[in-house]
Amino acid sequence: MNYEYFIAKRLIGSKAYKSSISAPIIKIGIAAIAIGIVVMMIAIATGIGLQQKIRDKVVAFNGHATITNYDSNNSQESVFPISINQEFYPEFNDVEGVTHIQGVATKFGVIRTETDFEGVVYKGVGNDYNWQYFQEFLIEGKLPNLEKKWSEDVLISQYLANRLNFKVGDQFQMVFAKNDPEKLPNYVKCNIVGIYNSGFQDLDKQFLIGNLRHIQRLNQWESDQIGNFEVFINDFSKIEEKGVEIFQNTPSTLNTTTVTTKFASIFEWINIFDKNIYGIIGIMILVAGINMITALLVLILERTQMIGILKALGSNNWSIRKLFLYNASYLILLGLFWGNLIGLGLLFAQKYLKLFPLDPSVYYVTEAPVYISFGYILALNLGTLVLCMAMLLVPSYLITKIAPVKAIRFT
């Protein structure tokens, strides 16, 4: 029989324990553990959620990697065409982890209406385009139907629609300048079939998505020529490794750029979230640990007579220390229980009810996204329990300094 556990259990269940002088301090310790868990869970869930959401939005407009011509063009516009007849297209089988590859092209143009105009990037896509991300962003209408050769269907952002007073079903003309300024510009008729909102305003205000064939006609390209390839992979954590592999498995005339390189400033910013998360976890565990140390010291001092009696009956120091560590572990587990209950409640409320909005011009999202995984929740709970118990080993050493004779006489 584990008598240390038995005595600890009796102490916890006694009425005197709950009404003792140490009761308020114990409650503060439990509250500190609960609050710490809530704060840590929110920090991890929102930090990782924000990273993933922003990452997915950038990938939606660019792919995980882009294959382009080697040239000095650093703009968003496709200038020199690439033949779509490549060994790696339409299936990039030479690189494991590539899930999709698609051919696209972009061209600067101006949306002209009777009262206004707006400069945008017309992104031409074909039948191989993966609409997975924009299906999620779609807030009104439908996705463009590109089955017809000269389809005029376009998908426009809510930002541009609001600026130009457009709605689903409206039509407009886009004006594209020619290389020769003396020649009249080209016009493309567009029919709005859908409105999207990615929440990433920097990209929403730039891109309009339509038929690739219009850009091929405007640039006088052949039907098998595109501006660049967009490549998607199944594991973002391996993006740099896969970027190198993709580069090595394409012709020497083509270059490969990963999304983390193309949008380096954005990814550097979201990587800072990791440091913030680690900092918050460290501070919360330290605060919770200090509170539990205080509670344990008060418990030891309150039970000095009991410690003296147990020593007089033959219990060694480690046995008595285990008794108080069992007691402390119960308090920690109680704090973890309430912390998980409150924390998960808040996270699920935010996930489904969208209680806390964010400014998209600052955070690139309209509400605080949350990432809920029972893997990190379990690791967080186990880590908190282990670290707090490790911190309690030192103050429990105070028990070895208590002499049985003085302890029994202690009042």
Where are the chain's structural domains?
3-56+267-408, 71-252
Residue 19 in this model has a pLDDT that exceeds 70: no
Residue 3 in this model has a pLDDT that exceeds 90: no
Q: Which residue has the higher pLDDT, 330 or 232?
A: 232
**pLDDT (mean) for 313-334:** 81
Strands (E), 113-180: 117-125, 138-141, 153-157, 171-176
Residue 313 in this model has a pLDDT that exceeds 70: yes
- Residue 345 pLDDT class (50, 70, 90 cuts): very high
- Residue 231 pLDDT class (50, 70, 90 cuts): very high
With CA atoms as reference, report the closest residue to 380 among 51, 56, 48: 48
Q: How far apart are CA 89 and CA 125, in angstroms?
A: 15
Q: How far apart are CA 58 and CA 69, in angstroms?
A: 21
Question: What backbone torsions phi and psi does residue 87 show, to the nearest 5 degrees?
Answer: -65, -30
- Residue 21 pLDDT class (50, 70, 90 cuts): low
- Residue 17 pLDDT class (50, 70, 90 cuts): low
- Residue 244 pLDDT class (50, 70, 90 cuts): very high
Indicate the range of 17-21, 132-136, 201-205, 383-387 predicted with least confidence: 17-21
DSSP 184: P
List residues bridging with 351 in a β-sheet.
none
pTM for the model stands at: 0.78
Instruction: List, as one string, the DSSP characters of 196-254.
Output: E--S-HHHHTTEEEEEHHHHHHHTT--TTEESEEEEEES-GGGHHHHHHHHHHTS-TTE
Indicate the range of 23-37, 108-122, 299-313 predicted with least confidence: 299-313
Q: What is the pLDDT of residue 6?
A: 72
Residue 411 in this model has a pLDDT that exceeds 80: no
Residue 410 in this model has a pLDDT that exceeds 60: no
Residue 79 in this model has a pLDDT that exceeds 90: no
Q: What is the pLDDT of residue 389?
A: 86
Question: What backbone torsions phi and psi does residue 101 show, to the nearest 5 degrees?
Answer: -140, 140
Q: What is the pLDDT of residue 245?
A: 92
Handedness of CA 313, 316, 317, 321 (dihedral sign): negative
136-175: per-residue pLDDT in tens?
889 999 999 888 888 899 999 999 999 888 999 899 889 8
N-term to C-term CA, the chain: 31
Q: What is the pLDDT of residue 288?
A: 85
Q: What is the pLDDT of residue 196?
A: 93
Q: What is the pLDDT of residue 52?
A: 86
Task: Please answer whether residues 294 and 93 qualify as being in contact, where contact means their C-beta atoms are separated by less than 8 angstroms.
Answer: no
Residue 183 in this model has a pLDDT that exceeds 80: no
Task: Please answer whether residues 56 and 64 qualify as being in contact, where contact means their C-beta atoms are separated by less than 8 angstroms.
Answer: no
| DSSP run (H or E) holding 106 | strand 98-112
49-60: per-residue pLDDT in tens?
888 888 888 898
Written as six digits, the tokens of 56 are 């997915």
In this structure, the number of other CB atoms found within 10 A of the CB of residue 211 comes to: 24
Task: Please list, in sequence order, all residues whose beta carbon lies within 8 angstroms of the beta carbon of residue 49, skipping any fewer than 6 positions away.
Answer: 368, 369, 370, 371
**Burial (Cβ within 10 Å: 0-12, 13-18, ≥19) of residue 161:** buried
- Residue 406 pLDDT class (50, 70, 90 cuts): low
Handedness of CA 9, 15, 20, 22 (dihedral sign): positive
Residue 408 in this model has a pLDDT that exceeds 70: no
With CA atoms as reference, report the closest residue to 245 among 97, 365, 111: 97
CA angle 136, 139, 143 (to 5 degrees): 70
**pLDDT (mean) for 256-284:** 87
**pLDDT (mean) for 14-34:** 73
Q: How far apart are CA 33 and CA 24, in angstroms?
A: 14
Q: How far apart are CA 134 and CA 123, in angstroms?
A: 13
**pLDDT (mean) for 171-187:** 80
Q: What percent of the chain has pLDDT over 70?
A: 90
Q: What is the pLDDT of residue 341?
A: 95
Q: Which residue has the higher pLDDT, 309 or 20?
A: 309
Written as six digits, the tokens of 369 are 């996204």
Task: Determine if residue 112 is left, alpha or beta; phi over 0 gives left, psi from -120 to 50 gives alpha, anything else beta.
Answer: beta
Task: Please answer whether residues 228 and 176 qualify as being in contact, where contact means their C-beta atoms are separated by less than 8 angstroms.
Answer: no
Name the average pLDDT for the chain: 84
